[in-house]
Amino acid sequence: MISENEVINKILEKDKEINLLGSIQSLLAWDQECLMPSDAVQWRSEQMGFISGFVHKKATEKSLGELVDKLKDEKLESDEEKSVKRLSERSWKEANSFPHDYVVEKSMFLSKAHSIWVESREKDNFSIFESTLEKIVDYAKKDSEYLGTCDHPYDNLLDIYEEGMTVKKVDALFNPIGDSISDLVKKISTAEKFDNSFLSTETPIDNQKELTNRLLKVMNYSKDRGRCDEAPHPFTIDLGPDDVRITTRYHKDDFKANLYGVIHEAGHALYELGSNDNIRATLLGGGVSLGIHESQSRFWENFVGKSLPAIEYLYSDLKELFPEMVGNRDAKTIYKALNCVEPSFIRIEADEVTYGLHIILRYRLEKLLIEGSIKVKDIPDLWRCESKKLLGIEPEKDKDGVLQDIHWSGGSFGYFPTYLMGNVYGAQFLDKIKDDLPEWDSTIREGNWSPILDWLKDKIHSVGSIYTPTNLLQRVTGETLSADSFIKYLYQKFSDIYKL
């Protein structure tokens, strides 16, 4: 029971209907990614448009608006009650910013756009996707216009995914990170190199799937409340309070893509599944923002999964499942190889250091697209130019550059910066958890990862969306958002690995 306030409970009843419809829509999206036959795209787009329209009607009902207005005059005591007010006002304003026909039209188009992106990527031919992306960018610009006046048209899109975020704030956060990463990469480039070529040894897919099962078990991700399937681009999807599914992809000559893809997506799922019982299945449940969400996935992937204690724990599994790859190498050698810093084309396969440069690259291009400074047709060449400038490498193939990620095909402009914000949030959480769990290293090394999940659930997962990202960070760490912890973490870890 969140509240005895009659208005709040009526809002929550209406919100549940919206959530139920939204979860049906998500199930259709999951099916399209994982199971749907290719020729079903047209009918699926009509299904998605229909459900989107239904959701929009529910979210803009006059009776809901009257309740939201009435709540403004209510005296609210608890954090939960105040959050219902904040989130219902935010949802009401956003839903009513968009015309109904526009919502249906956009949903149908994006459903078709996904399959066009898949074809374009598979054929490594940007021209197949170009006109579709032009239309998607137009939708993103219209979204910002509908949402109202702001300092920069990209601000409204950022705020959708990270409440209160603006271009000014992102630039202030990203600029010093970009400078620090570039400096660290230069230092590493002069250090002694070590061999990581053995990681490309062919590994059986069935054995990779067994590793997936073992990883999910040690992370306490229950198959009773989710499942793991295959998809072209790994993702997590919330289909209900007890149904949060993840996907991965398997490459016979790159086992680490699955290893860290699974850990990353399970991190997202554990966050969604961790809300307190009294707020589950309400607008207060689940992740508060994409930045905090990414802090949880990147926390598990990097701070836990890529640590030396984690590799020491996983060493026996790797030796058993991939004996040809491991050979007579010890855990420290594998750890160093998995953390090798090498600028690469694909974001989701990037090392911890250069990963942030991938985010900065796309953020800059997105910002320029939305403000109208560049054209979609110029994106492939601009991508190559920015990649050369930031990463020192230039992709020859568009599937290794502009076509590599699914997000633009889904209209998710404003999403990408949250990946790097997640690293920043996560590093601040890491400092705090290490203070609270002095046995951090031994906990990971012994395969007892439950205390880590318990801490994350207690501090972050359990409260769902009750607090804004800024307030949540303050409650957990006593700090405001700052790049200092993340930059310090990178320099300490990789100075040790490369003996800088």
Residues of the chain with CATH 1.10.1370.30: 167-498
Averaged pLDDT for residues 213-231: 96
pLDDT band at 294 (very low <50, low <70, confident <90, very high): very high
CB 393 within 8 A of CB 341: no
pLDDT band at 262 (very low <50, low <70, confident <90, very high): very high
> Domain 167-498 carries which CATH code?
1.10.1370.30
CB 96 within 8 A of CB 65: yes
Catalytic site residue from 81, 162, 163, 265: 265
CB 229 within 8 A of CB 247: yes
- Position 60 scores a pLDDT of 97
Residue 396 CB neighbour total at 10 angstroms: 9
Please give the mean pLDDT across all residues of the chain.
95
Q: Is the dihedral of CA 434, 435, 440, 442 positive or negative?
A: positive
Is the pTM above the cut of 0.85?
A: yes
The torsion angle over the Cα atoms of residues 437, 440, 442 and 443, rounded to 10 degrees, is 80
Residue 337 CB neighbour total at 10 angstroms: 17
Classify burial at 381, counting beta carbons within 10 Å of its beta carbon; exposed 0-12, middle 13-18, buried 19 or more.
Answer: exposed
**31-45: pLDDT as tens digits:** 998 999 989 999 999
**Angstrom distance (rounded) from CA 475 to CA 457:** 14
Which helix (H) or strand (E) segment is 248 a member of?
A: strand 244-248
CB 288 within 8 A of CB 472: yes
Q: Are strands 244-248 and 236-238 parallel, antiparallel or unpaired?
A: antiparallel
Q: Is the dihedral of CA 79, 84, 86, 87 positive or negative?
A: positive
290 contact partners, CB below 8 Å, separation of at least 6? 161, 162, 415, 418, 422
Whether 470 has a pLDDT exceeding 80, the answer reads yes
Q: Is 202 a catalytic residue?
A: no
CB 177 within 8 A of CB 487: yes
pLDDT band at 1 (very low <50, low <70, confident <90, very high): low
Residue 147 CB neighbour total at 10 angstroms: 18
**372-381: pLDDT as tens digits:** 999 999 999 9
**93-128: pLDDT as tens digits:** 999 999 999 999 999 999 999 899 999 999 999 999
CB 80 within 8 A of CB 3: yes
